[in-house]
Structure 1
Amino acid sequence: MNPTRYPQGRALLIGVANYQQISSLPAAILNDVNDVAATLSSPNYCAYAPANVVTLLDANATRAAVLKGLDELAARAIPDDTVCVFFSGHGAIVGSPGNEDSVLVTVDSDLTDIENTTISSDELAVALAKIKAKRLLVFIDACHAGGAAISKSLTDGKDHEFKSGYTRNAFAKLAAGSGRALMASCRADEESAVFIGARNSVFTTVLLAGLRGAADKNVSGFIKVFDLFNYIAEEVPKLVPDDQHPIFKADDLEVNFAVALSQGGKKSPYCSEAKPATQQEDPWSVLEGILAELYPFGPRDQEMWSRAGGDLSRLQFHSSGHAAWHAALRTLKQGGGGRNINFSSLLRTAKEDFSNHPQLATL
């Protein structure tokens, strides 16, 4: 069986710009949801069945409606489905310093009773855990900023105010579980840019391009989770240099699963024709797949990273081997991971361990 198999996709997309009692956000937030929904359900791009793509916007995105939408998604999704949950709007940081957490702010949230009128990260994590799909990807585009008209905090005009955003702890909760992953528009201490007059936020602008085929650099016919984040992580900082860095969280994710079909690519997933000679696979992606197969516990496996000249202390810890390799190679491409390690040294070390491996021989 193809580990990236993609029989059916389902999505719940939530966007709130015009809050009832809290500072508003630009119209780009609503465009984000509508455009992601159109892209996912387009036969020319991701080819989700339109009936499987549900949107909740502004007045329809109440606390009760969001929780009901998640319950309905859990009731309909089967293990072989791929599920996406997308939220664009306010997040609020609550709790005391050192013990901070986050809540998802719905259209009817009230800052005077924030605990009972928002959705806590624990509550959201429980709702996501009920979804039995083996592949689930959560997108969070929050902590918006981009001009004097957009507040950097949540206010209600009555002296109630909360810091906007999501904590690392909240992101970790939402990504917990096998086959679960999360992509967020920015780090906990950054802001998600929305350029004045732009149709979409910066994060969603890049996400849309990725879903429409830009993330399928190998023309595989699928938009795969690691490839999608690779594209987002490389392109967002080009638009907002040094100020916005999307993050990826995965607790137990080994397979580079398909988020969607890539009908906008140059090759249909059902086409048996070989790739043109000019359309070669990205060697970094090929090496990542090989290393994840040969060293399933990550760069620490058999001291692979160290033997190739790398410094393990420069790498972030990930609980799954594939996620660890994905992050390590992205760090290496950006010039990190140790002074004496590079693509060639990694390849050379792998060839020393597996001299007869056919794919290694072609790199």
Structure 2
Amino acid sequence: MNPTGYPQGHALLIGVANYQQISRLPAAILNDVNDVAATLSSPDHCGYPPANVVTLLDANATRTAVLKRLDELATRAGPDDTACVFFSGHGGIVGSPGNEDSVLLTVDSDLADIENTSINSNELAAALAQIKAKRLLVFIDACHAGGAAISKSLTDDKGHELKSGYSQNTFAKLAVGSGRALMASCRADELSSVFDGARNSVFTTALLAGLRGAADKSASGFIKVFDLFNYVSEEVPKLIPDDQHPIFKADNLEVNFAVALSQGGKKSPYSPEIMLTVQEELPWSVLEKILVELYPFGPRDQEVWSRAGGDLSRLQFHSTGQAAWHAALRTLKQGGGGSNINFGSLLSAAKEDFSNHPQLAMLQTS
């Protein structure tokens, strides 16, 4: 079996440039969504199943449609999955100074009735909270500079005006929860730049490079959340020095979790990270990490436990793949899990599936 897919990956990507009643944005915003979608669903990059990558562009990105698709994402993404939500478009700031909040502006938003035609931060946070995936990453590329003169305010042709951007309070609210993180294109007092004639915004240019493998500096075969943010936060200021700084918010995030494959899962057998891991850690610990990575749904994933001679009825049920593997290997070390399974048979079964995996190759069956 060739590890060229990331079946647990789900994404909802939203982009609005041609607003019906508000200042329009450059075409790069639509390119951003299309290019991120193509990268996520490419077997040579992130490996998401194309059917799991949903896009809403311009006329299709109404308030009703966005909320409906968020609800669908919550339905299709299970606890062991990874979910990404990407929004590129206008954000607006409402409320009084010191008590500011933000709204996400959909294609049909009306400045004359902003309360009923936008998605406020409480609605968006509630929609995100319904997503069961233990790994959720939200990208917001808003407060755009470029195109119309919309740097600090949004206008329509009726004289209405709304401050452009997102508040820090909103960013923090959207990142609440274990395993949840938010990455935004710029600070609240900055602009998200789009160079004239550029295909993508500055933020998304760096994000795309990171997702296409540049963020995987250790050649682990995975794009991980901290590595991705570190890459983007270093690259954006190089493209536009001193004017734009991406921000990262996480409420309770301790694990540098994977969000996608890197270059289709390509790993380097000479990666310093891989060499040190195998040399310094006990084989059982190394095997557990590898199995969690390759079989994220636990011992039942691809029937690997049964194929290795194990008996699934001897294992306890756990809500996450990581917890299931930890308990299963602990049982195996104590002589349980089935009369015909052992460290060697489990390792051999994994090697049959992933014959080119460098860490597996370094482990010994005896």
Tell me which interval the TM-score lies in, with the shorter structure as reference length.
0.7 to 0.9
1:277-322: CA deviation from partner (whole Å, max 9, x where unpaired)? xx5349xxxxxxxxxxxxxxxxxxxxxxxxxxxxxxxxxxxxxxxx
Question: What corresponds to 1:66 in structure 2?
Answer: 66
Contact residue 186 and residue 246 of structure 1 kept, 8 A? yes
> What's the secondary structure of 2:74's corresponding residue?
helix
Q: With the length of structure 2 as denominator, give the TM-score of the two structures.
A: 0.72
In structure 1, the gaps of 5 or more residues are 1-5, 283-363
Count, aligned residues? 272
Question: What corresponds to 1:30 in structure 2?
Answer: 30
Which amino acid letter does the alignment assign opposite residue 116 of structure 1? Answer: N
C-alpha displacement of 1:219: 0.1
The 2-side partners of 1:281 and 1:81 are apart by 25
Question: What corresponds to 1:274 in structure 2?
Answer: 269
C-alpha displacement of 1:264: 5.3
C-alpha displacement of 1:77: 0.9
Which amino acid letter does the alignment assign opposite residue 172 of structure 2? Answer: A
Which amino acid letter does the alignment assign opposite residue 157 of structure 2? Answer: G
Contact residue 216 and residue 223 of structure 2 kept, 8 A? yes
Contact residue 91 and residue 165 of structure 2 kept, 8 A? yes
Contact residue 212 and residue 264 of structure 1 kept, 8 A? no
Give matches, 1:1-363, under 5 Å: 8-146=8-146, 150-263=150-263, 267-268=266-267, 274-275=269-270, 279-281=271-273
The 2-side partners of 1:7 and 1:43 are apart by 11
Coordinate RMSD, CA, aligned: 2.0
C-alpha displacement of 1:151: 4.5
Which amino acid letter does the alignment assign opposite residue 280 of structure 1? Answer: P
Contact residue 26 and residue 146 of structure 2 kept, 8 A? no
C-alpha displacement of 1:157: 2.0
Which amino acid letter does the alignment assign opposite residue 97 of structure 2? Answer: P
C-alpha displacement of 1:92: 0.1
1:232-272: CA deviation from partner (whole Å, max 9, x where unpaired)? 0000000110010000000011110001011257x34xxxx
C-alpha displacement of 1:152: 3.4
The 1-side partners of 2:263 and 2:215 are apart by 12
Which amino acid letter does the alignment assign opposite residue 185 of structure 1? Answer: S
Question: What corresponds to 1:356 in structure 2?
Answer: none
Contact residue 147 and residue 195 of structure 1 kept, 8 A? no
> What's the secondary structure of 2:84's corresponding residue?
strand
Question: What corresponds to 2:348 in structure 1?
Answer: none
> What's the secondary structure of 2:54's corresponding residue?
strand
The 1-side partners of 2:64 and 2:178 are apart by 27
The 1-side partners of 2:146 and 2:232 are apart by 19
Q: Are residues 57 and 182 of structure 1, via their aligned partners in 2, closer, same or farther at CA, if it must alter by over 3 Å?
A: same
Contact residue 23 and residue 151 of structure 1 kept, 8 A? no
Contact residue 195 and residue 202 of structure 2 kept, 8 A? yes
Q: With the length of structure 1 as denominator, give the TM-score of the two structures.
A: 0.72
The 2-side partners of 1:22 and 1:103 are apart by 14
Contact residue 216 and residue 222 of structure 1 kept, 8 A? yes
The 2-side partners of 1:70 and 1:15 are apart by 14
Contact residue 181 and residue 253 of structure 1 kept, 8 A? yes
Q: Are residues 167 and 149 of structure 1, via their aligned partners in 2, closer, same or farther at CA, if it must alter by over 3 Å?
A: closer
User: Moved runs in structure 1, 4+ residues, more than 6 A?
Assistant: none
**Greater Rg over alpha carbons, structure:** 2
> What's the secondary structure of 2:272's corresponding residue?
coil
Which amino acid letter does the alignment assign opposite residue 117 of structure 2? Answer: T
1:55-104: CA deviation from partner (whole Å, max 9, x where unpaired)? 00000000000000000000111000000000000000000111100000
C-alpha displacement of 1:153: 1.7
1:100-140: CA deviation from partner (whole Å, max 9, x where unpaired)? 00000000000001011000000000000000000000000
Contact residue 141 and residue 203 of structure 2 kept, 8 A? yes
Contact residue 45 and residue 211 of structure 1 kept, 8 A? yes
> What's the secondary structure of 1:181's corresponding residue?
strand
Query: Which 10-residue stretch deviates more, 147-156 or 225-234?
Result: 147-156
> What's the secondary structure of 1:40's corresponding residue?
helix
> What's the secondary structure of 1:245's corresponding residue?
coil
The 1-side partners of 2:148 and 2:78 are apart by 45
The 1-side partners of 2:146 and 2:237 are apart by 15
The 1-side partners of 2:173 and 2:228 are apart by 21
